[in-house]
Chains A and B, each alone.
Chain A
């Protein structure tokens, strides 16, 4: 039987770890709620944009823009991988990297010039370990990505796309579907393909109001397209942030439960060890007394 004191020590340390994981779980839950609220606020914005696009289409404008068109020859492509800065979030980063690696390899084989940008320390380390050279690193995104910062990145991509230094942009991130389901996905953001965030535009034809366009429908379209790209990129960052918190919440919940089970088991072994130690001591005393009497 193991040493009772060693068992007690181990039990204490597990108890401390359980305290930490439980706190982390609570923090992740709070952050998840906050991140979720932000994601919903962004949805209000994207819905408005979708509505405006719907109105433009209803006004008979042919929706065409350089950002929407597929280029014939793709020379320079870029991949943006969104990971987390911190660990202890289960399989969150691993699943992103698992999705990213084959994609990057495949693109490098078929396209002449592929650069990889990464957001998050974990992704930087993970890709460097797998031998991928990283061009740009963004380490300033935590659980609440700021639009101003995402916009800066978006603008640099846009200006490179317009000037022809970039022909295609893929973003690899974790899409948040529900609290129990997040999938690592690849999305091509440049060229945009379609406007309107692939939601059904059933509200577009609902109202029969004639709109006045100031200064003109074309001018508005010129602005709508880059804006919707920026908002989509922002949505990717928000989704990634929410998914990270969910993953951490679940991982820490599991850790706390496991620690509880372990403590239970250790307590049982400890009690047994203690009991047998006491029995041993009593035997010794009785043996001593009997030796004295004899």
Chain B
């Protein structure tokens, strides 16, 4: 029995494939999904989505969003998903530097900076 994994971005359906197991990059750590998991809705963080398919492992960078598990269907809603091979380490490092230079003088600004730093770190981790 396999899991159907669907990754949807606002522009198009990025991935729609069968997998033996899926590892989701959640907001506070990874979650592995095997067939027959209980229904779940989760908040995604910035990180790598691992798919173990019959054709071999596949990895995608996921830019926040949500995951929903229902039956044997895992659907991910994210604003951006890129195959890990297409990520650029240099650009990710640059993004991290920019994020770290952001001002954090008020709680709101600090929160925005925090999100930007986490996104850049996630991207860098995936790129490596």
Q: Which residues of A contact B (CB under 8 A)?
A: 38, 41-42, 44-45, 48-49, 51-52, 55-56, 146-148, 151, 159, 162-164, 209-215, 219-220, 222-224, 227, 230-231, 234
A214 lies within 8 A of B26 (CB)? yes
- Residue picked from A48, A219, A222, most chain B C-beta under 10 Å: A48
> Using Cβ atoms and an 8 Å threshold, which residues of chain B touch A224?
66
A147 lies within 8 A of B10 (CB)? yes
> Using Cβ atoms and an 8 Å threshold, which residues of chain A touch B26?
214-215
Given contacts A41-B10, A45-B10, whether A214 and B41 have CB atoms under 8 Å apart is yes
A42 lies within 8 A of B112 (CB)? no
Q: Looking at chain A's contact residues, is the secondary structure mostly helix, strand, loop, or mixed? A: helix
Q: What are some 17 contacts across the A-B interface (CB < 8 A)?
A: A42-B11, A44-B8, A52-B41, A147-B79, A209-B39, A211-B39, A211-B40, A212-B38, A212-B41, A213-B41, A213-B42, A214-B27, A215-B42, A219-B27, A219-B43, A220-B41, A223-B66
Q: Which residues of B contact A (CB under 8 A)?
A: 8-13, 26-28, 31, 38-43, 64-66, 68, 70, 75, 77, 79-80, 106, 108-109, 111-112
> Using Cβ atoms and an 8 Å threshold, which residues of chain B touch A151?
79
Q: What is the chain B residue whose CB lies nearest that of A45? A: B10
> Using Cβ atoms and an 8 Å threshold, which residues of chain B touch A219?
27, 43
Q: What is the chain B residue whose CB lies nearest that of A47? A: B8
Instruction: Identify B43's interface contact among A210, A214, A234, CB under 8 A.
Output: A214
Given contacts A48-B66, A215-B43, 4 further A-B contacts (CB under 8 A): A146-B11, A147-B80, A213-B41, A223-B65
Q: What is the chain B residue whose CB lies nearest that of A40? A: B12
Q: How far is the CA of A55 from the CA of B40 in the complex (A)?
A: 10
Given contacts A41-B12, A44-B8, A163-B106, whether A220 and B43 have CB atoms under 8 Å apart is yes
Q: What is the chain B residue whose CB lies nearest that of A212? A: B40
B64 lies within 8 A of A223 (CB)? yes
